[in-house]
């Protein structure tokens, strides 16, 4: 999901390159171009102190090259924190390919991109993101081993969405314990916005525990199918954000906690899979804190997907993937307690834990 894309004017600051707004001590940024295939890509390596930078490749028809640069810088930084707070020995990276995947994506272009990834010698591992399919990662694998998320038949870890949903479920239970004193979801009214790959599995897990789940989506067919399958209600009002409930689980779009919605929210807990749920973490984090809404940081609780691809690098089996994902429960509780004890936002507490881990490793090096 492309959110918070800054305008070219906002990006053009006095310092021509390193002064760009989204630069945050990124180690390396690689611009890749190939005339024959039409490839134009940027690989952002934010930080490799904990391990090789891992993050997906997003293919999107950016309006300007500045937008693409901003996206890769912002997303790669996010990956550093996601991996660090989850306890993985991975750094943060991301890649963007400019252009409409439906129009210009070809196996030749993907191979050329893979060759550029290969030139980094394992400093950056790529994976699937918006605009990419598992088959594209298989194509990249033909030219470099530095790719994850390949098909199970080719030795990959398979679909990450069920693991992501399980991590979100763990984070949701931890946030519920923090807010209500126990982590039972039974009887809790949960609004699940977006019932795609992750959302549907979250509906399964929560409804099986006895939660009173209400689903919302723009896809009517999916609504009917998921409602029937799990016996859950469909939201039929016109303002989901104003709905009285215990938990709001954003599993569709980013930036749904924004100036427009924040005062309407009546839930006690926000815990979902979508990336970048807070439109502006510096504004909406403190506002949620003031409203005493417990926010489980998105990049922490949706880390099941990265745990799943990390397994490919480490050679983990299913049990280790599940154990690491279950640990999201403990990490979420730690972060919520730390935020409360130090009167900071939960997002800031999560970033603090990630930064502490990176600093400790740096000292040992
Ligand atoms: P998906 O595309 O399978 O599902 C998204 C669902 O949201 C679709 O059913 C779509 O119809 C619905 N939707 C779109 N706009 C909506 C709107 N305005 N209101 C309600 N519903 C709307 O995506 P997914 O793989 O389930 O991922 C969901 C979110 O979690 C995304 O933000 C994604 O970036 C994030 N995420 C996913 C993974 C993963 O492993 N798949 C990992 C980390 C983060």
What does the alpha-carbon distance between residue 121 and residue 36 come to, in Å, rounded to a whole number?
A: 24
Please give the angle made by the CA atoms of 266, 270 and 275, to the nearest 5 degrees.
135
The question of whether 35 is a catalytic residue gets the answer no
312-338 exposure pattern, b = at least 16 Cβ within 10 A, e = fewer? bbeebeeeebbebbebbbebbbebbeb
For residue 163, what are the contacts with CB-CB under 8 A and spacing of at least 6?
304, 305, 307, 308, 321, 322, 325
130 CB less than 6 Å from ligand 1?
Answer: no
pLDDT at 30 over 50: yes
pLDDT in tens, 290-312: 999 999 999 999 999 999 999 99
Three-class SS of residue 363? helix
Ligand 1 centre distance from Cα of residue 352 (Å): 27
Give the pLDDT score at 238: 94
Which of 157, 225, 188, 205 has the alpha carbon at shortest distance from 301? 205
> Residue 193 and residue 231: Cα distance in Å, rounded?
16
CA of 36 to the centre of ligand 1 (A): 34
Among the atoms of ligand 1, which is closest to the Cα of residue 222? 9
Distance between CA atoms of 330 and 352, rounded to whole angstroms? 16
**For ligand 1, is residue 285 a contact (CB within 6 Å)?**
no
Q: If 0-12 CB within 10 Å is exposed, 13-18 middle and 19+ buried, where does residue 362 land?
A: exposed
149, 184 Cβ separation under 8 angstroms: no
- The residue-averaged pLDDT of 130-153 equals 94
Best residue for ligand 1 mutational test, from 273, 297, 311, 325 (most atoms within 8 Å of Cβ): 273
For the CA of 308, the closest atom of ligand 1 is 40
Look at residue 84 in the predicted model and tell me its pLDDT: 97
pLDDT digits (tens, 9 = 90+) for 205-253: 999 999 999 999 999 999 999 999 999 999 999 999 999 999 999 999 8
What is the distance in A from the centroid of ligand 1 to the CA of 196?
Answer: 5
Instruction: Give the pTM.
Output: 0.90
275 Cβ below 6 A of ligand 1: yes
Q: Does 184 sit in the ligand 1 pocket, CB within 6 Å?
A: no
- Report whether pLDDT(4) > 90: no
Would you say the CB of residue 273 lies under 6 angstroms from ligand 1? yes
Q: Which of 13, 35, 82, 94 is catalytic?
A: 94
Q: 118 in helix, strand or coil?
A: helix
Q: Whose CA is nearest to atom 4 of ligand 1?
A: 196
Distance 295 CA to ligand 1 centre (A): 19
Question: What atom of ligand 1 comes closest to residue 198's alpha carbon?
Answer: 26
pLDDT of amino acid 102: 96
DSSP 8-state secondary structure symbol assigned to residue 292: T
Query: What percent of the chain lies above the pLDDT cut of 90?
Result: 86
Confidence of residue 158 (pLDDT cuts 50, 70, 90): confident
Q: Does the Cβ of 196 fall within 6 Å of ligand 1?
A: yes
User: Does the beta carbon of 253 sit less than 6 angstroms from any atom of ligand 1?
Assistant: yes
């Amino acid at each position: 999901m492309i959110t918070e894309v800054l305008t070219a004017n906002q990006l053009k600051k006095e310092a021509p390159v390193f002064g760009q707004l989204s630069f945050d001590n990124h180690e390396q940024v690689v611009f890749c171009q190939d005339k024959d295939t039409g490839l134009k890509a940027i690989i952002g390596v934010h930080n490799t102190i904990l391990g090789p930078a891992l993050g997906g490749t997003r293919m999107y028809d950016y309006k300007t090259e500045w937008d693409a640069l901003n996206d890769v810088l912002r997303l790669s930084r996010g990956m550093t924190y996601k991996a660090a707070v989850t306890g993985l020995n991975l750094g943060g990276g991301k890649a963007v390919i400019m252009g409409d995947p439906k129009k210009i994506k070809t196996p030749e272009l993907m191979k050329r991109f893979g060759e550029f990834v290969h030139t980094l010698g394992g400093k950056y591992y790529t994976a699937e993101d918006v605009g990419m399919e598992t088959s594209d990662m298989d194509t990249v694998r033909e030219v470099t081993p530095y790719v994850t998320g390949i098909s199970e038949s080719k030795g990959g870890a398979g679909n990450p969405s069920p693991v992501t949903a399980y991590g979100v479920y763990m984070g949701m239970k931890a946030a519920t314990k923090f807010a209500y004193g126990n982590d039972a979801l039974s009887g809790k009214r949960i609004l699940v916005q977006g019932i795609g790959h992750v959302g549907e599995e979250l509906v399964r897990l929560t409804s099986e525990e006895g939660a009173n789940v209400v689903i919302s989506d723009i896809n009517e067919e999916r609504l009917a199918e998921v409602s029937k399958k799990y016996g859950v209600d469909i939201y039929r009002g016109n303002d989901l954000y104003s709905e009285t409930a215990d938990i709001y689980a954003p599993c569709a779009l980013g930036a749904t906690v924004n100036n427009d919605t924040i005062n309407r929210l009546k839930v006690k807990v926000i815990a979902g899979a979508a990336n970048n749920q807070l439109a502006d973490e510096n504004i909406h984090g403190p506002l949620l804190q003031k409203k005493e809404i417990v926010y489980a940081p998105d990049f922490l609780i949706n880390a099941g997907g990265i745990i799943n691809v990390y397994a490919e690098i480490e050679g983990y089996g299913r049990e280790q993937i599940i154990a690491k994902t279950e640990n999201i429960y403990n990490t979420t509780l730690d972060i919520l307690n730390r935020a409360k004890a130090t009167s900071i936002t939960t997002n800031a507490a999560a970033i603090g834990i990630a930064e502490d881990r990176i600093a400790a490793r740096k000292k040992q090096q």
